[in-house]
Amino acid sequence: MREIEKTFQNLKKRNEGALIAYVAGGDPKPEYTPDIVEALIDGGADIIELGIPFSDPVADGPTIQAATVRALNAGTTPKMVLEMVSEVKDRHRVPITVLTYYNPVFRMGLEDFFKSASRCGVDGLVVPDLPIEEARDYKRVAEAYEIDTIFLAAPSTSTERLRKIVEHTSGFLYLVSVFGVTGTRKEVQELTVNLIRKALPFTTGKIPLAVGFGISKPEHVRTIITNEADGAIVGSRFVKIIEKNRENNDEMIEEIKKCAHELKKATIRNRSSE
């Protein structure tokens, strides 16, 4: 059993959802990322999603785009992000997924990329611009290295296509909660709740369902988990903390840890009032 599947199973036994925390690798500087990831884990994040900075991040909103620019300006490369995973994995067994657009994978070559990712301890990959129809070779190599291929489903995804995506994804299904790009929102939309209800008949008993885009507050996480999703993905909230404190590393780490702790508490089902 792979680590992502094992994590979701253990959380289910504890009646908890997963907090999946995203940050851009190399933001604000490459040497900060392992400590940032450590703070997320100390705060309670169950799975880490580490972004490889790319010059054309079409799925990302302004907050994560700015993080990508900072990381690229700091000289961050795909190989450096994979090595960051290795550094964290030397200290923790928390699953780490890498979010990348397909171009960096293509440029490195499928075999070389996955060989490096496997050596560094990457557990799964999220590639927003890779449709299932074009993923046969990618999926074959990923499976050979026992790295999960995490596909995304969007609000516009048809029922038939959703069924196909569920058949091809592994680790979990990444459900995009809103139309548009990443970024914080004031509240969870009714659209998101309806999307969860639409997806559950296809994922229940087959693959964990995690919801991302626009999830930034404990009440957002609570709504996602209460409506029977298995995990909530939070990115822009953490990236904003990094942006605000990029000149004060100690304060950044403490605020990230505190934020992760508050969000993680919201994943616990049947919570008593505090």
The pLDDT value given to residue 177: 80
- The yes-or-no answer on residue 274 being catalytic is no
Residues 6+ apart with CB under 8 A from 136: none
Instruction: Give the dihedral sign, CA 246/32/55/124.
Output: negative
Q: What residues of the chain score a pLDDT lower than 50? A: 180-185, 272-274
The pLDDT value given to residue 157: 93
Rounded Cα distance, 104 and 78, in Å: 7
Rounded Cα distance, 167 and 10, in Å: 23
Rounded Cα distance, 259 and 117, in Å: 29
Catalytic residue among 49, 83, 123, 230: 49
179 contacts 61 by C-beta, under 8 angstroms: no
The pLDDT value given to residue 187: 53
How many CB atoms are closer than 10 A to CB 43? 22
Rounded Cα distance, 264 and 250, in Å: 21
Compute φ and ψ for 149, nearest 5 degrees.
Answer: -105, 110
Which amino acid is present at 10? N
- The yes-or-no answer on residue 49 being catalytic is yes
The pLDDT value given to residue 231: 98
Residue indicated by tokens 């548009």: 180
Catalytic residue among 60, 83, 148, 230: 60
Superfamily of domain 3-264: Aldolase class I (3.20.20.70)
The pLDDT value given to residue 214: 83
Query: What pairs with residue 107 in β-bridges?
Result: none
Q: pLDDT of 55-93, one tens digit each?
A: 876 667 788 889 999 999 999 999 999 999 999 999 999
Q: Hey, where are the domains in the chain?
A: 3-264
Q: How far is CA 122 from CA 31, 60, 67, in A?
A: 19, 22, 21
The Cβ-side half-sphere exposure at 109, using a 13 Å CA radius, reads: 4
Q: pLDDT of 87-96, one tens digit each?
A: 999 999 999 9
